[in-house]
Amino acid sequence: MRKIKNDVYWVGYIDWDLRNFHGYDTPHGSTYNAYLILDEKPTLIDSVKHYGADEMIRRIKQVIDPSKIQYIISNHTEMDHSGSIDVLLKHCPNAQVVCSPKGEEGLSRHFKKNWNFKVVNTGDTLDIGKRKLTFMLMPMVHWPDSMATYSAEDKILFPNDAFGQHYASTERFADEIGVGLAYDEAAKYYANIVLPFGSQVLKALEGASKMDFDMICPSHGMIWRGKEQITGLVQRYVKWANYESDAQVCITYDSMWHSTEAMAKRFYEVIDMAGIPVKLMNLQTSHMSDVVTDVLKSKVVLFGTSMLNNRMLPTVGALMMYLKGLKPKNRFALSFGSYGWSMVGFKELETSIQDAGFELLGEGKYIRFIPDQDELAKLDSILPLIQAKLAAK
Ligand code: FEO
């Protein structure tokens, strides 16, 4: 366990082995953060994935006898946070499970048990002794049931998935691993988990702005503390939730025989020579969850594919399906690639780009078989289009 404030303890589980979170590449693992508040009615906020139950209970036992826990607050039904409540309740059978109305529905569907629920709504409070915990529903940040718990006495916000990062560490605070690294991981988390829910995030941020806290304890990764760290984090969330991006370009592609790759590299050179920040992401070597993190930052994205059996390459198809769900907004895109005899797949790519929420920058750039130097030079014509979009507010 780790004491994080007076009578508040981290008692979660460090998932060193996690490498994939439903499609999100997690090379650094993750944590499922549970927090124990010692008060007249000891309260646990969130739990851990089912296979972390024993470790969580061992940590709780370092602080109190688990049977003394009176409330288990489930801020979110998803099983990375609620998967061990069933096991936990065997240690504290009289504890009430505190959750949102949708949380009660979700937990009932998952566990098929008649738990002693205490259902709360925005503004409701829970008196646990010296503290009155306050709840704020945050539908779709990340599921319909999601909510945050706030302890005014501790000045702590427990927002569950919001502000989280998939990062395993024995350190518990963002400044202990480096705030820059923690912000980068928060960006990847936002891009891959939270991106579709911008308007709901803004609503939650508005609610949180009325609360006075100097610590944010999310359910994954590092804890944020201090005004400077928290302000930087909230500013980033406001920017991302408003679908703002930076004046930079991401080029992502897959290539069969290096022709599409040659086109991608020509785009990269001309954009780079113009002094525009640009990233080249080959889908054979870059995971799509990293590509999506760059999409979060980039105002312009170039998508390239070769034609395989008249279709885009499967890696590009998977990326487009992923982006269709994540729904980035206020971004521009262009398709490109090499083909042999059919261009049907390029039409599909253009449609997918628009279905994912991008506005096409112009006509796609397609070259038959191997591009020669003249054909590559003609690709430079996209530069003014990109510059115009990056310059526009
Ligand atoms: Fe970390 Fe939506 O669960």
pLDDT at 217 over 90: yes
Euclidean distance between CA atoms 327 and 139, whole angstroms: 18
- Residues 276, 191 share a domain: no
Euclidean distance between CA atoms 193 and 196, whole angstroms: 8
pLDDT of residue 30: 98
244-300 tens-digit pLDDT: 999 999 999 999 999 999 999 999 999 999 999 999 999 999 999 999 999 999 999
**Nearest protein Cα to ligand 1, atom 3:** 78
- Cα(370) to centroid(ligand 1), Å: 45
- Residues 220, 109 share a domain: yes
- Residues 207, 115 share a domain: yes
- Residues 347, 230 share a domain: no
Instruction: State the average pLDDT over residues 235-245.
Output: 98
Instruction: State the average pLDDT over residues 202-212.
Output: 97
- Distance between start and end Cα atoms, the chain: 48
Euclidean distance between CA atoms 364 and 361, whole angstroms: 9
Contact 99, 74 (CB under 8 A): yes
- Cα(66) to centroid(ligand 1), Å: 24
What domain range includes position 273? 250-391
Atom of ligand 1 nearest to the CA of 164: 1
- Residues 208, 344 share a domain: no
pLDDT of residue 393: 76
**Mean pLDDT of all residues in the chain?**
97
- Cα(348) to centroid(ligand 1), Å: 32
Euclidean distance between CA atoms 344 and 92, whole angstroms: 61
Contact 101, 121 (CB under 8 A): yes
Give the CA distances from residue 278 to residues 87, 234, 267, in Å, rounded to whole numbers and listed in that order.
49, 26, 10
Q: Is 302 helix (H, G, I), strand (E, B) or coil?
A: strand
pLDDT of residue 263: 98
The total number of structural domains in the chain stands at 2
Give the model's confidence band at 12: pLDDT under 50 very low, under 70 low, under 90 confident, else very high: very high
Last residue of a domain, one of 241, 271, 291: 241
Instruction: State the average pLDDT over residues 150-156.
Output: 98
Long-range contacts of range 204-210, CB-CB < 8 Å, 24 or more positions apart? 204/136, 204/138, 204/141, 204/148, 204/159, 204/162, 205/234, 205/237, 205/238, 205/241, 207/122, 207/136, 207/138, 207/148, 208/136, 208/148, 208/157, 208/159, 208/234
238 closest CA partner among 208, 215, 213: 208
19-40 tens-digit pLDDT: 999 989 999 999 999 999 999 9
pLDDT of residue 53: 98
Contact 189, 200 (CB under 8 A): no
Atom of ligand 1 nearest to the CA of 219: 1
- Cα(79) to centroid(ligand 1), Å: 7
- Residues 335, 187 share a domain: no
- Residues 348, 220 share a domain: no
- Residues 203, 118 share a domain: yes
- Cα(194) to centroid(ligand 1), Å: 10
- Active-site residues, by number, are 22, 76, 78, 80, 142, 161, 189, 220
Euclidean distance between CA atoms 277 and 332, whole angstroms: 15
pLDDT at 56 over 80: yes
- Residues 208, 75 share a domain: yes
- Residues 84, 177 share a domain: yes
- CATH number for the domain that contains residue 175: 3.60.15.10
Atom of ligand 1 nearest to the CA of 220: 1
Euclidean distance between CA atoms 46 and 75, whole angstroms: 6
- Residues 83, 201 share a domain: yes
Last residue of a domain, one of 186, 216, 241: 241
Ligand 1 pocket by C-beta < 6 Å: which residues?
Answer: 76, 78, 80-81, 142-143, 161, 219-220
Q: Where are the alpha helices (DSSP H) in 47-168?
A: 53-61, 79-82, 85-91, 101-111
Last residue of a domain, one of 241, 260, 291: 241
- Considering only the C-alpha atoms of the chain, give the largest distance between any 2 of them, rounded to a whole number of Å: 77
pLDDT of residue 115: 95
Instruction: State the average pLDDT over residues 349-378.
Output: 98
pLDDT of residue 347: 97
- Residues 283, 197 share a domain: no
Instruction: State the average pLDDT over residues 67-80.
Output: 98
pTM of the model: 0.97
- CATH number for the domain that contains residue 334: 3.40.50.360
Phi–psi pair at 149, nearest 5 degrees = -115, 140
**Nearest protein Cα to ligand 1, atom 1:** 161
